[in-house]
Structure 1
Amino acid sequence: MLSREDNERVTRTGPGTPLGQLMRAYWQPVALVSELSGDRPVKAVRIMGEDLVLFRREDGPDVPGDAGASAAGTWALVGRYCAHRGVDLSFGRRENGGLRCLYHGWLYGPDGQCVEQPAEPEHSNFAAKVRIPSYACAERNGIVFAYLGTGDPPPFPAYDCFRAPEEYTFAFKGWWECNWLQGVEGGIDPSHVSFLHRFVGEDPREVYGQQFSEVVEGTGRKLSELVGAAFRPDIEVESAEHGLRVFALRDLAEDVRHVRITNLVFPNAFVVPFGNGKAFCQWHVPIDDENHYWFMILYDFEEATDQAALLAQRLAEVSLPDYRPLRNRGNDWGFDPREQRELTYTGMGLDINVHDQWAVESMGPVQDRTVERLGVSDRAVTANRRLLLKAVTAFENGATVPGLPLDERAAEELTGPLAIDTVTPVDGWETAWRTRESERRARSPWAGREVRHAQR
C-alpha cells in the first residue's frame, strides 16, 4: 500500500505538480494522425489538465511524413483560448501557418505569438506583447507527439516502435475513465493473464487477441489453456535503461516453460509481446487526473500490417470522435452472466482490451492505494511505484531519470525494449529466448539488431 501523500504524488499530473513536471519532460502522444486527416485538420486536445489546440500548419507539408526536417513544420500545438477574450481557438481559421480567432481576428503563429490584431491602431505594438502557450510536435508512425516541458525537447529513443517502417505498424487509441497510473499498472502485471483473459469455453476469436492461441508442441493444448492453468508464475523484475523489465515464467509441463517478458517504458508506457512476430508500445496519457487516453503503436517484425483490417476491428469497439469504448461503466462493460458461465471468464465480450479496461476502471477514478494489500505476485507494480517516487524526487533535484536521453548518442542506446512471448525448454531458457529473439530480428526486413541490454 501507499501513504495518502505518496498516492497523490504518483497520480496527480496537472500543471505545477511534481509528477506533472516530470511527465512533461518526455514526448507524449496527443492525437492520432488519422484524427486530423479530413478537410479541417484542427483538433482540441486536453492533456494533463491543460487545454490545447493541435493543427496542421497551412504552410507545412501537404502530406505528413516522418518527424525529420521535411515534417518539422507539419504540426503546431498551442493554447486553446485566445488571450484577448478567452474565445475557443479550436474553431479558428488556419491562416499563414497559424490560427486566427473568429471573434476579433487576432492571429497566432505556430509558436503561440500573436502576430496580428486587426482592430488595434495601425502603429500599435500590442501584438508583440501577447503570446499563448505553444509546444513542439513530432510525428511517429501514425501518432502526433508533443513535448510540453521546458527547454529543448529530448531526442526520440531508438525504440522498435519508432524505428519500424510505417507499413509495419498500426496506431490507435482509446479513452479510459480512470487515472493514468491504473492503466500502466495493469499493463505490467503479468499474473492477471491467467484469470482475466481466460476462456471457459472454446475461444472463437480469429484475429485480435489471438496471442495465446497456438498449440504448444508436445502438449496438444493451446497456450491459452496452459497459461490459465499455470496461475502461479515466477515473476522477476530488473532495472533497465528504459525503466523496468518484467519476467513471467510458467512451467507448462515437466520440461516446457513459457517465457513472457514485458517492459515498463518510463514513465507512462509499456511494451508487451503480441503473438508471433509482433509487439506493441502503449502510452497511458492523462487527460486529467480521472481520465486518460491509451495510445498504441503495434509493430510487426516480419510482415506489413493490414492496417485497414486492424482499424475496422478497433473502430467496432469505440464511439467517435472521442474513442470512448462502447462497453463502459454506464452499461456495466457489457457484462453478461450467461457468457461468464459458458464462454469468457469476465462475461464482457471477446476483446481483451475491454477486460483490462474493466479491471482498472472498476477501481474508481483514482485508486485508493492506502487500503490495498499487495503480495509477491505484485513485484512489478511495487517496483514501478518505487521507481516513480524516486524519479519524481530526482527530477525535482535536477538529477537524471530513466528513459530520458540527454543527447542523440544516449537516445541510440535506448533500443527495443525486448518483448518476448515464447515456449522454451526448462533447462537453458535464459539463452533459448535470446536465440529466438536474435533469429526473429535477423529475419525482419527492418529490425536487424543484436539482442542486448537484458541482464540475463
Structure 2
Amino acid sequence: MISQKLNDQITRIGPGSEAGAVHRRYWQPAALTDEMTPGMSKLPVNLLGERLVLLRGADGTLTLTARVASPDEAPTHHPAEADLHPIAGAPVYPVVEKNGIYFAYLGEGAPPAFPNFDCFRAPDSHVFAFKGLWECNWLQALEIGIDPGHASFLHRFLQDEDPADSYGKQFRDKAADTNMPITQVLREYPRPDIEVEETDFGLKITSLRHMDGGLTHVRVTNQIFPSAICIPMSREMIITQWHVPVDDENCYWVTMFTSFDKPVNKALMREQRLQEHSLPDYAPLKNKSNDYHYNPEEQKTETYTGMGLDINVHDQWAVEGMGAIQDRTREHLGRGDAAIVRYRLLLRKAIKAVGAGQFDRLPMQDQPGTASLIGPLSNDAIADSDDWQAASWKYDMTRRAACPWDASV
C-alpha cells in the first residue's frame, strides 16, 4: 500500500502536476488520422487535462493548441467543427503522423526523437490503429497491461475457439509451434514466474508458465515509458498500446496493431472494433451503465467474466471497477505484481528527474540513442525449460527474417 499523497503524485496529470510534467516530455497520441476526415481543418482533442483543438493548415501542416471550452466540459464531449475556437496567444504544440495516429508534444523545448520501434518503421500497409475510451485513471489502465498473470484469470476462456476464426483477436491463436490453443495454456498454467528487467525504453517483462513434459511457455511483453505497452497478439501481430490520459479520471487506449507477415486487413479490423464502440467518441457499447452485458449463463460455460469474447471489455470492467482513481492506500501487492512495483519506481525516478531539470535521466530522452532503439521483442514461445531464453530469441528472429519489411534487429 502507498500513501494518498503518493497516489495523487503518480496519477494526477493536469497542468502543473508532477506525473503530468513527465508525460509532457514525451510524444502523446492525440487522435487517430481517421478522425480528421478529408476537408476537416479542426478536431477537438482532450489530452492531459487540457481542452485542445487539432488544426490542419492550408498547406497540410498540423498543430495543436488550446480552445475555448467550459471548465466542466465532459471528456467525451465532441463539439462541432464550427464551435471549435482556438485561444489567441495560447502555446502551439507540434504534431506528427505515424501509421494512423497523430502524435503531439506538449512539453517545453525540442521534442524527443521517436524510437525506431516496429510499429513506427513498418509500412502503413502492415499497421492498423484504433482506440477506445475507458472511464478511469490512466495508471490503472497501464498497470493491468503490465500484469502477465491476469490473463489466466480475467481472460479465462472455458472453451477454445477454432483458431481459423482468430484474425484480429487476441488470445485466439495456437501457442507457438504447437496445436494447443493459447487459451488452453493460460487456463491450465495460471501462475507464471515473472522476471522484470529495466531497459532503455522502460521494462522488459517475461512470464514463464512451466508446463508438463519439461516445457515452458515464454511470453515476453514490454512497458514503453511512460504509458505504453508492447505485447504479442498472435504469431503474426504485435500490439503497441498507449494509455493516454484525457484527464485524471478518463483515458483512451490507443493501439497500433503491427503485422510481421501479410498486410493488415484494416477493413475487417475496423469492422470488428466498431461492433464494440460508438463514434465519434470511441466509447465502448458495453459499459457500467449496462453491466458490460454480463450474462451469467455465459459465465457458467464460456468465459470467466460472462462479458463476451472481447478481452478489452474484460479489462475495461476490471479497471473501471476500481473507481475513477484506484485507491492504492488499501492494496497489498505480491510477487506477481513485480512489474507494477518496478514501473512505479521508474515513474517516481522520472518525476524526481523532471523536478530537478535532469531530463537526460528519463527513458528515451537521449536523442541519438532513442532513434536507434529497435524492437522491442514481444512474442510467445514454447521451449525446453532449460533453454527458454535462446528459444524465445530464435522464434523472434525467425519471424523477423521472413518479414516482408525490414524488421531486422
Report the TM-score, using the length of structure 1 for normalisation.
0.83
- What SS does the aligned partner of 2:128 have? strand
CA contact (8 A) 1:29 1:145 kept: yes
Counterpart residue type for residue 161 of structure 2: D
Name the SS for the 1:227 alignment partner: helix
Query: Which of 88, 92, 98 does residue 140 from structure 1 map onto?
Result: 98
Distance in 2 between residues matched to 1:216 and 1:22, nearest whole Å: 38
Deviations 1:158-213 (CA, angstroms, capped at 9, x unpaired)? 11111111100000000000000011001000001111111123436643335353
Following TM superposition, by how much is the alpha carbon of 1:338 offset from its aligned partner in structure 2, in angstroms? 0.7
Distance 1:254 1:140, change over 3 A: same
Instruction: Judge conservation of contact 2:209–2:216 (CA < 8 Å) in 1.
Output: yes
Q: Structure 1: where are the runs of 5+ without partners?
A: 61-72, 83-87, 102-107, 115-130, 451-456
Match of 1:389 in 2: 348
C-alpha contact (below 8 Å) 2:131/2:254 kept by paired residues: yes
Structure 1 residues 216 and 411, CA gap change in structure 2 (3 angstroms):
closer
Task: Please give the alpha-carbon distance, in whole angstroms, between the structure 2 residues aligned to 1:76 and 1:215.
Answer: 44
Tell me: higher relative CO, structure 1 or 2? Use CA pairs within 8 A at least 6 residues apart: 2
Match of 1:200 among 153, 158, 164: 158
Deviation at 1:243, TM superposition (A): 0.4
Structure 2 residue aligned with 1:151? 109
Alpha-carbon contact 2:43-2:81 (below 8 Å) kept:
no
Contact 2:26 2:112 in 1 (8 A): yes
The 8 Å contact of residues 197 and 203 in structure 2, kept in 1 or not, is answered as: yes
CA–CA distance in structure 1, aligned partners of residues 193 and 175 of structure 2? 22
- The residue type equivalent to 2:64 in the other structure is L
Q: Shift in Å at residue 411 of structure 1?
A: 2.1
Amino acid of the structure 2 residue aligned with 1:214: K
Partner amino acid for 2:277?
V
Q: Compared with structure 1, are the counterparts of its residues 19 and 308 closer, same or farther at alpha carbon in structure 2 (3 Å cutoff)?
A: same
Q: 1:247 aligns with which of 206, 219, 225?
A: 206
Deviations 1:389-409 (Å, cap 9, x if unpaired)?
Answer: 1111111112234433332x2
Structure 2 residues not aligned, in runs of 5+: 70-76
**Greater per-residue helix proportion:** 2
Q: Name the SS of the counterpart of 1:254 in structure 2.
A: helix
Asked if 1:34 corresponds to 2:34, the answer is yes
Q: Which has the larger radius of gyration?
A: 1
CA distance in 2, matches of 1:202, 1:21: 45
TM-score (norm 2): 0.93
Specify the alignment match of 1:179 in structure 2: 137
1:6/1:389 contact within 8 Å kept = no
Which of 205, 211, 223 does residue 171 from structure 2 map onto? 211
Partner residue of 1:76 out of 63, 84, 102: 63
Residue correspondences, number: 399
Q: Which string of whole-angstrom CA distances, capped at 9 and with x for unpartnered residues, describes residues 322-352 of structure 1?
A: 0000001111111111110121111001101
**Structure 2: distance between partners of 1:142 and 1:217:** 32
In 1, the alpha carbon distance for the partners of 2:371 and 2:170 equals 32
**2:197 alignment partner in structure 1:** 238
Distance 1:253 1:375, change over 3 A: same
Query: Percent identity at matched positions?
Result: 44
User: Which AA in structure 2 matches 1:28?
Assistant: Q
Q: Structure 1 counterpart of 2:392, which letter?
A: W
Q: Decide whether the 8 Å contact of 1:136 with 1:146 is kept in 2.
A: yes
Distance in 1, Cα, partners of 2:232 & 2:349: 28
Residue 31 of structure 1 aligns to which amino acid in structure 2? A
Q: Deviations over 1:250-274 (max 9, x none)?
A: 1122222110010000010010011
Q: Tell me, what secondary structure is at the counterpart of 1:366? A: coil
Deviations 1:80-128 (Å, cap 9, x if unpaired)?
129xxxxx9976679xxxx9x5xxxxxx7xxx7x5xxxxxxxxxxxxxx
* 1:404 corresponding residue in structure 2: 364
Partners in 1 of 2:142 and 2:277 — Cα distance? Answer: 20
Q: For residue 128 of structure 1, what is the aligned residue in structure 2?
A: none
Aligned counterparts of 1:133 and 1:89: Cα–Cα separation in 2: 22
How many angstroms does 1:412 deviate by? 2.5
Write the distance in 2 (CA, Å) between the matches of 1:49 and 1:32: 19
Whether the 8 Å contact between 1:243 and 1:402 is mirrored in structure 2 is: no
Given that 1:340 and 1:347 are in contact with CA atoms closer than 8 Å, whether structure 2 keeps it comes out as yes
Contact kept? 1:15, 1:49, Cα under 8 Å = yes
Partner of 1:165: 123
For 1:255 and 1:364, the matched residues in 2 are separated by: 42
After superposition, the CA RMSD in angstroms is 2.1
Residue matched to 2:286: 327
Are residue 301 (structure 1) and residue 260 (structure 2) matched? yes
